[in-house]
Structure 1
Amino acid sequence: MTALAAAPRRATHTTGHRLSFAHLLRSEAIKILTLRSTWWSLGVTAALSVGISLLIALATSGMGGSMAPTNVILAPTQFTMLVAGILGAIVVTGEYSTGMIRSTLTAQPRRGAVLLAKAIVVALTMMVTTMVIYAVAIAATAPLSGTSIDWARPADSLVPLALGVLSMACFTLMGVGFGFLLRSGAGAIAVTVGVLFVLPIMLSLFSIAGPDWMWVVEAGKYLPVSAAGSLTQPGAQDLLEPALTMAGWVVGPLLLGWVALRLRDA
């Protein structure tokens, strides 16, 4: 009799107080944007991106602007991608370390919705930040560059810049996936840095091992950093393969993170 009476109360608790997805998005935005670590990460991203672009523009200005203006803006991505991935990881693992994830899952028991809402908010935050950074970098480097960006040719200007914005969001989402999968801040950061930075260096070292190992070097083009480089190359024609590669590196960690979120207790 007691068990039968308790069952409806449990059902009411899990359904009656469930947040709508719009409220869940708002809640995730408040949590993420009120973290000091978020603003530190975005600030470091902006400083690195604009600073490196200025240094490149200064270095090439004496040579008549030998680097394409779009590449001057996109070149810092090989460094800022690490900050983006780490941001995605700590946004998730920070909730596990403080225990806030339990409150989140109590308010919204649908764990897939929690992951999706957090992924959307983090990705949009990084995309908006990257667009602002690109605008500042373009304005700051324009007086130093030998040539200006030719906006009349979208394939050499708007397209690679837009894909650069998407790439930064993808790096962040990879960190989110690893965060949900590993739950440990140190572990998620280590894996993110390993995939984005260490693994490409390791595979490139096989180029000195002779032709028998060139397949390992060739495999490096299926890493996210290589895919992002191909996507953001001005005038690039074949974008399908790098786009699918990047999509795989985003979907894979997020899917594994979703499975871990569903199968393990918070």
Structure 2
Amino acid sequence: MTALASAPRRATHAHPHRLTFAHLLRSETIKILTLRSTWWSLGLTAALSLSISFLLALASSDNGGMFSPVMILVAPIQFTMLVAGIFGAIMITGEYSTGMIRSTLTAEPRRGAVVLAKALVISLLMAATTVFTYIAAALVAAPLVSGGMDWSEPSSSLLPLLFGVASMVAFTLLGLGFGFLIRNGAGAIAATVGILFVLPIVMSLFAMAGDRWAWIYQSVDYLPSNAATTLITAGATDVTGAAIALTAWAVAPLALGWATLRSRDA
């Protein structure tokens, strides 16, 4: 027997193929852009924002400029935040309902990469939609605003708009986090709407409950919707605390969703 024949054979096991992160981003982008729910959500966000801004501009022009030009653009966030949160939730719960999540994790077993890629794609889509609506709203509102839109002071004009974009992204990630965590469309939407809309109302009721419960009422400022309101208000002082609170509300559910995805089968 020759030396070649007697030599041990090398292992021929191939490593499972993994997508590069760039390919994963491209895959998630194609997947999300081909969903009708994506375009309905983004279209509704833009339409609702433009409609409210137009009505506020009309009201302001009829009442001697009762709203500042920047407030006309960012005020709709109080309503579009719900659409953003629901958009984030359904972008993952739809995959659980159809079973597509199993195909996704088969192609890319690194679950953290899947969460990150989906978060990046929907964040960019929501940010782009929000920027588009601000530009369109500014063009629509400018003829109705006395003196036009004033951009000379960035801290009271551009900065609230940037905070508005960041807030819409945060609401989207909040919904996505609850989607990964709950894995059910109705449940994730209920949790998202509850945090964004119902909880501030409930906690505000404690303002009438006396000093013993004052800490609950005072905590309202750190809920995501209230923190966003602080950030988009021109001349607001406690922007650091509001920014930290809003970031935490975006990151915490997403981190919990990632932990759940790692510990449970899809």
TM range (shorter): over 0.9
What displacement does 1:147 show? 3.7
Aligned-residue CA RMSD in angstroms?
A: 1.3
Which residues of 2 match residues 217-228 of structure 1 at below 5 A?
217-228=217-228
The 4+ residue runs of structure 1 with deviation greater than 3 A are none
CA contact (8 A) 1:150 1:156 kept: no
Q: Which residue of 2 aligns with 1:17?
A: 17
Query: Whole-Å Cα distance in 1 between the matches of residues 166 and 83 of structure 2?
Result: 15
- C-alpha separation in 2, matches of 1:155 and 1:147: 19
In 1, Cα distance between equivalents of 2:83 and 2:149: 26
How many residues are aligned here? 256
Q: CA deviation at 1:235?
A: 2.1
- What's 2:71 paired with? 71
1:37 equivalenced with 2:37 (yes/no): yes
1:4 corresponds in structure 2 to none
User: 2:12, 2:250 → 1: CA distance?
Assistant: 40
**CA positional deviation for 1:220:** 0.5
Letter in 1 for 2:197: F
Gaps of 5+ in 1: 1-6
SS at match of 2:38: helix
- Supply the distance in 1 between the matched residues of 2:84 and 2:73 (Cα, whole angstroms): 16
Structure 2: which amino acid aligns with 1:103? S
- 3-state SS, counterpart of residue 143 of structure 2: coil
Deviations 1:172-194 (A, max 9, x none): 00111100000000000000000
Provide, for residues 19-41 of structure 1, a one-character-per-residue CA deviation record: whole Å limited to 9, x for no partner. Answer: 00000000000011110001000
3-state DSSP class of the match of 1:114? Answer: helix
> Scaled by the length of structure 1, what TM-score is found?
0.93
Aligned position for 2:46: 46
Q: Which amino acid aligns with 2:138?
A: I
Q: Larger Cα Rg: Structure 1 or Structure 2?
A: 2
**1:240-262 superposed Cα distances (whole Å, 9 cap, x missing partner):** 10111011101110110000000
- Show CA shifts across 1:114-170 (max 9, x none): 000000000000000100010001111111122433211000111110110011001
Using the alignment, how far apart are the partners of 1:28 and 1:195 within structure 2?
Answer: 27
Q: Which residue of 2 aligns with 1:117?
A: 117
The equivalent of 2:96 in structure 1 is 96
Higher mean C-alpha deviation, range 252-261 or range 208-217? 208-217
Q: Give the secondary-structure state (helix, strand or coil) at the position aligned to 1:234.
A: coil
Q: How does 1:1-266 map to 2 (within 5 A)?
A: 9=13, 12=14, 15-266=15-266
Alpha-carbon contact 1:155-1:236 (below 8 Å) kept: no
Q: Deviation of residue 8 (structure 1)?
A: 6.9
Task: For residue 148 of structure 1, give the secondary structure of its aligned residue in structure 2.
Answer: coil
User: Shift of the alpha carbon at 1:217?
Assistant: 1.1
Q: Return 5+ residue gaps in structure 2 as ranges.
A: 1-10
Percent identity of equivalent pairs: 61
Q: Is the 8 A contact 1:95 1:101 kept in 2?
A: yes
Give the conservation status (yes or no) of the 8 Å contact 1:127–1:168.
Answer: yes
Partner Cα separation in structure 2 for residue 262 and residue 39 of structure 1: 30
Letter in 1 for 2:49: S
Deviation readout 1:5-27 (Å, 9 max, x if unpaired): xx975xx3xx4321000000000
Tell me the TM-score normalised to structure 2 length. Answer: 0.93
User: CA–CA distance in 1 between the matches of 2:88 and 2:47?
Assistant: 18
